Each structure stands twice: as structure tokens, then as C-alpha cells.
Amino acid sequence: MPSFSQLNLEELLNRASSGNLRAMGKVLSLLENPYEIPKNLLESLAKRSGNSQVIGITGIPGSGKSTLISRLITSLRRNGHKVAIVAIDPSSPISKGALLGDRLRMQEHATDPGVFIRSVSSKGLKGGLSLAALTMIEAFDAFGYDKIIIETVGVGQSEVDIMKAAHTIIVVTMPGAGDDIQALKAGVMEIGDIYVLNKEDKEESRKTYEYLLFALEKGDIGLSDSSWRPRLLKTSAIMGKGIDDLAISINDHYDHIKKTGRFFEKVISRRTLMMKLLAEQLLIENVEKIYDGMQDKLNAVARNADKIFIASIEIAKRVCSEIDNLDVN
Amino acid sequence: MLSPQYTKEKQYKVLVAKLGIDGHDRGAKVIARALRDFGFDVIYTGIRQTPEQIISAALQEDVDVIGISILSGSHIYHMKKLMEGLRSLGADDIPVVIGGTIPIIDVEELRRIGIREVFLPGESLRRIADVVRELAKEKREKESYRG
Ligand code: B12
Ligand SMILES: Nc1nc2c(ncn2[C@@H]2O[C@H](COP(=O)(O)OP(=O)(O)OP(=O)(O)O)[C@@H](O)[C@H]2O)c(=O)[nH]1
Ligand SMILES: [Mg+2]
């Protein structure tokens, strides 16, 4: 087999489309780095995407999301679906690197040709996190994975953005997490389509279940879509309990949004968001480039405290002319 | 490309895995954490992995280096299988390193089958990170598709 480094974009895409793992992995790497996305790549992918159900799974750290996803994969595979997972790491702010721990819980599916797991580190992406997630959705959709699962921890603006791009939002909690649930409010907690109380094998699970039920009935949570009645389910990912019910609810939600037209609306809104984020990326990238190139001048301005505002306008103007020169064909 | 001449600092991605029936996972976990602290993105796939599982994970994640830990004594057998698997998929340009309780006399054989570096007990974590970074850098430089 010829070396991958010698392929052009079209050959790479052809291989990826025929199910070659390495080629798919490479395409995802291209998308992961917003500074290097080849222009035609997104077009080629998006032309073939728009069919898959994107399932966002979010919730407090350690609630069992990855373990639950692994069980869910088994259930979805039994029903003939191809499943892709984008596992976004809640990386620690302390070190520059990241230990991406989600895959470990799903590794039993590694050699299943109908399952593709990709871990994404928020490190080094600098705000490009949601962009990477959105472009990866287009890729997996184009490659024929009809169920795309995104795992995130539900905090931070980019994670909320990512969840809003999903067709079906699942919020996972665990017994005794009342305070954490409060903390998540105003984030993604409120917009779940399906709420899952995992670790129902634990003692305190009844109390938390009643708390959640109350919040749901009161209308504090479950506000994503007025035509869908949000559900509350109990699972034990460890024991494998409640998984089929979860898969059924996911499927019911799919049928529902297909009927109401919300399915395609979501595809449109996630792509418009992708364009906005790409534009932002383009600006940021060029601001940094121009800024780096103007260091001497900016230092002089700073030293003399003269024309500071005008200098910043000059940066912006140069960014605009740089972008003006971009080849858009 | 949006702007090929302007790329950000590189973030390298490494897979750490235990190959074969071998429960000694202390070293692998130490290495996974150490590499993270040295700035790598690390994916640890846990114990009792087959070559097929490791290769699938490496390709799906598009890692820059594969790091294997073996303390069971059957490193030659398992590493031959792993390297054959990579070669058959045209993926033997991904550098592979190994660590664990490996007799010095086996180091040469491991190198002969394509293992880029062998780390023995007591190896300094800083040197491990330096070697892994060099290998990752070398691999990326050969690729036209990832800066
Ligand atoms: C601790 C230990 C155990 C613990 C393991 C705990 C755990 N969860 O890991 C326990 C008590 C469970 C155990 C059990 C057994 N053990 Co034991 N164990 C050891 C011991 C004393 C230390 C291993 C260790 O943790 N070292 C500390 C770590 C940090 O060092 P390390 O793994 O070598 O890693 C360093 C380098 O090798 C390198 N490295 C390692 N991996 C990687 C990976 C990458 C990617 C990189 C870059 C570098 C790298 O970097 C690290 C830092 O320098 C060794 C003897 C020894 N001195 O090595 C025996 C040893 C490994 N065990 C041995 C045996 C035989 C067993 C048992 C079969 C004993 C039995 N009869 O029951 C069982 C089997 C367990 C199993 N399920 O597989 C033998 C193996 C013989 C062989 N290789 O042929 C050894 C060598 C002892 C001996 N001299 O006989 N063991
Ligand atoms: N008792 C019990 N433990 C569980 C259950 N599901 C998962 N766990 C355990 O909870 C811990 C965290 O599980 P993960 O699947 O990693 O949780 P997560 O939500 O993906 O974690 P992060 O990605 O780190 O936020 C692990 O030790 C699991 O074994 C369950 O149903 N019951
Ligand atoms: Mg997880």
C-alpha cells in the first residue's frame, strides 16, 4: 500500500469513504486543526452529509457517560446502526497535555468495523473546540455513520454550542448529585430531550430520581423543544440495566424530529454555526499573524503611549486586506 | 489551506497500551501521566489488549507514536504480531516504542523488527518524553497532511 503522506486530498477522501480507518483518522486530524483545514474538504463532506442522528451526551464528570455510551454502542450495533463517537476531554487546566480517558471505557468496540471512536482534546484548540466537533460531525455523517455520539462535560460556552448542534440531547446525572445539578443549570442541564439517572444501583438513587422528576414536572429542566415531552430514565451502565429503554427513547426522539422537520433544521443551524466559527477562526488567525509581524511598531507605540487606538485599527485594517486577498474559488 | 505559513505550536498525540495477558499496569499508567505532564495528548487503552485493538485505536485516533508496555516476558512474540499488523495496513510509518522488564539481550532483536526504542526499568521519564517527542516530530514532518 502506498504511503499515506503521498496521497492528495481526493485520494485521501476516496479511501476514507471506502471505510479505511487510517484515511478517516487523517481526515479528522485535518479538521481538528482549524489553521489547516483545506478549503474543499468541508464542501466534499457536507455535500454527502445531513442524514445521521447526532446524539449529544453530557452531564457531570464521573456520572458514567462513557460507560453508558459503550453499552449504548452494543445496543445500536445490534440494530444494525453504524456508530461514531466524538469524545471530548474535560482536560485539566494544570498541564499542557491531556489524558483522554473516555476511550478506555469503550475500547471493547475498537475492532468493530461499524464503530469509530475519536478522542478530542480541548488543549491546543483554543476556542476551536466547537468548530472541531462540528466539522467532525460532517465527516462522520458523510462516511455513513448514521448515529454520531458526542460526549462532553456540560460546562463552558463551547460545550453548550456543541450540545445545541446535536439532534438529541441526553443529560446524564447520578445519585446524590443534587448540588452539581444546580450548578449545571443555565447550561445544558435545562435543554435535555432525555434525562438519564445513571448508577441507579446506588442507594441514594430514589431521592435523586424524585428530585429530577419534580424539576422536570415543574418545568425547570427539559426546555429544548416544546413539541417533545422530555423523558426521565434510570440506568445502570455497570449492570447493563435500562440500556434498551434508552435506545428506544433515542429512536422515538429521532422519529419525532423527523416528523416535525426539526431534524433538518438542526442540520442547517449546525452548519450556519460552523460558518460563523470558521469566520471567527479566520479573523483570529490573521490578527495573530499581523500582530506578530508588527511587533516593532507596536512596541514603539506602546513606549510612547502615542496613537494606541489608531494602531489597533491598523491591525484590523491589515487583517481585512489580508482576508481580501484570499482565494475564494 | 487557510494560511499554510502560519501554524500553531504542535500538540502530539500518543497511544499507551498493554499488549497481551499481563496485568502489570503500574508502569504504563506512570508513563501515560508523565507524557501528559510533558505536554502530550495521551490515550491509554488499558490492559489485555490484542494487536488488532491497539492498531484500530491508533488509526482512529491518528496518533503520532504507539507506546507499548510489557512485563510478562513475551515481548518478542507480541511485538512481532503488532509490527506485522501495522505493516499489512501500510501503517508502519507510525513509530513504535516499548518499555517494561525486557532483558538487555532482547533489545537488538526488538530493534531489528522495527521497534524504534526500548526502555528498561528505571528509565528517566524526561528522557522518555524527549525520545517520544523526537519520534513524533519526525513522523509529522514526513506527512504532507498534518502540519
Ligand atoms: C509490582 C509488581 C507486580 C504487581 C503489579 C501491580 C500493578 N498493577 O502493576 C503484582 C504484585 C500484582 C504483580 C503480579 C505478578 N507479577 Co509482578 N512484578 C512487579 C515488580 C516488582 C515491579 C513492576 C513495577 O510496577 N515497576 C514500576 C514501574 C514504574 O516500572 P516499569 O513498569 O518497569 O516501567 C518503567 C520502564 O520499564 C519503562 N516503561 C514501562 N512501560 C512503558 C511503556 C512505554 C510506552 C514507555 C515509553 C516506557 C515504559 O518506563 C518506566 C519508568 O522507568 C516487577 C519486578 C521489577 N523489578 O520490575 C515484577 C515482575 C514484573 N512480576 C513478575 C511476575 C512473574 C508476576 C506474577 C506472574 C507473579 C505470580 N507468580 O503471581 C504476577 C502476574 C500479574 C499479572 N496479572 O500479570 C515478573 C515477570 C517475569 C518476566 N517478565 O518474565 C517480574 C519481572 C518479577 C521477577 N523478577 O520475576 N507484580
Ligand atoms: N455503581 C455504578 N458505577 C458506574 C456506573 N456507570 C459507571 N460507573 C463508574 O463510574 C466511574 C466513571 O465512569 P465513566 O464512564 O468514566 O464516567 P464519565 O461520566 O464518562 O466520566 P468523565 O468523562 O470523566 O466525565 C467509573 O468508575 C465507572 O465504572 C453505574 O451504572 N453504576
Ligand atoms: Mg467519559
Q: At what angle do helices A21-32 and B51-61 cross, to 10 degrees?
A: 30
Report, as ranges of residue numbers, the positions in chain A whose pLDDT lies below 50: 1
Please check the confidence at residue B70 and state whether its pLDDT lies above 90: yes
CB A219 within 8 A of CB A230: no
Closest CA to A107 of B83, B18, B30: B18
Cα B33 to ligand 1 centre (Å):
17
For residue B2, pLDDT over 50 is answered with no
Give pLDDT, residue B1: 33
How many Å lie between the centroid of ligand 3 and the Cα of residue B68?
23
Would you give the end-to-end CA distance of chain B in angstroms? 11
Task: Specify the pTM.
Answer: 0.94
| CA B80 vs CA A57, A99, B19, B115: distances in Å | 39, 28, 12, 9
| CATH class for the domain made up of A49-266 | alpha beta
B4 has which bridge partners? none
Residue A90: its chain B contacts at CB < 8 A?
A: none
B interface with A, Cβ–Cβ < 8 A, is: 1-4, 6-9, 11, 13, 32-33, 35-46, 49-50, 52-53, 56-57, 59-62, 89-91, 93, 142-147
Map residue A16 onto helix, strand or coil. Answer: helix
Q: What are phi and psi of A230, to 5 degrees?
A: -60, 145
> Tell me: the pLDDT tens digits for B121-135?
999 999 999 999 999
User: Which comes out higher in pLDDT, residue B4 or B20?
Assistant: B20
What's the pLDDT score for residue B8? 47
Q: What is the pLDDT of residue B94?
A: 97
b (16+ CB within 10 A) / e for A85-104: bbbbbbbeeeebbbbbbbbb
Residue A286 amino acid letter: N
Q: Cell numbers of B120, please? A: 528498561
Is ipTM strictly over 0.95?
no
Query: Under a CB-based contact definition with an 8 Å cutoff, are residues A209 and A178 in contact?
Result: no
Least confident of A54-58, A241-245, B1-5, B92-96: B1-5
Instruction: Answer yes or no: is pLDDT of B4 > 70.
Output: no
pLDDT one-digit tens code per residue, A92-110: 566 678 899 999 999 999 9
Whether B63 has a pLDDT exceeding 50, the answer reads: yes
Q: What is the pLDDT of residue A161?
A: 82
A280 touches chain B (CB under 8 A): no
In chain A, the residue whose alpha carbon lies closest to the alpha carbon of B60 is A25
pLDDT of the residue at B6: 38
Tell which one of B101, B110, B126 to mutate to probe ligand 1, the residue whose CB is within 8 A of the most ligand atoms.
B101
Residue ranges of the domains in chain A?
A: 1-47, 49-266, 280-324
User: Cβ distance A156 to A64 under 8 Å?
Assistant: no
- Which long-range contacts link A278-285 to residues 24+ away (Cβ below 8 Å)? A278/A34, A278/A37, A278/A131, A280/A127, A281/A34, A281/A35, A281/A128, A281/A131, A281/B2, A282/A323, A282/B2, A283/A319, A283/A323, A284/A127, A285/A34, A285/A35, A285/B2, A285/B3, A285/B6
Enumerate domains of chain B plus CATH numbers: 13-141 (3.40.50.280)
